[in-house]
Structure 1
Amino acid sequence: MNGSEQADRAAPRSAAGLPLLRLYDAVLLDLDGVVRVGSRPVPHAVPVLRGLRDAGRRTAYVTNNANRPPADVAADLRRWGLAVAEEEVVTSAEAAARLAADRCRHLAPVLVIGSQALRTAVAAHGLRPVAFERDGPAAVVQGFAPTVSWQELAEAGHAVARGVPWIVTNTDLTAPTPRGTVPGNGALVAVVQAATGAEPIVAGKPSPPLLREAARRAGAHRPLMVGDSLDTDVQGAHRAGYDSLLVLTGRTRPADLFAAPPHLRPTHLGRDLRALCAPPLVTDRRAEGWWCQGWYARVEDGVLLLEGSGDTCAGLRAACAAAWSAAPSLPDPFRALAMLDA
Structure 2
Amino acid sequence: MGKIIFALNEDGKTPSSWTIPQESVMAEKNDAGMKFINYYKGADTCFVEDITNKDLKPSKVPDFEFNTELNKTILEVDDTNLALLRYLKMHSWFGLRFVIYSNETEANSKLSQYEKVEKALELIKESDDIKIKAIALAILDLGYFYKTSTECLADLKSKAFNQPDLVIAEMEADDYQNKYVSALAFASGIIKNNMTNTAVVWSDNDGVIIHVAQGENGLNKLTEFLKRSTAESEVLLQEFQSRFDRSSNNKVNSSDTSSAQLKTKDDEIKALKKMLANATLPKTVEYKEEETDVTDSTPIDYSTKTVEELQKLYVDIICKELPVRYKNDKIWITKELSK
**TM score, norm. by length of structure 1:** 0.22
Q: Which has the higher strand share?
A: 1
User: Which has the greater radius of gyration?
Assistant: 2
Bigger RCO of structures 1 and 2 (CA < 8 A, at least 6 apart): 1
**TM score, norm. by length of structure 2:** 0.23
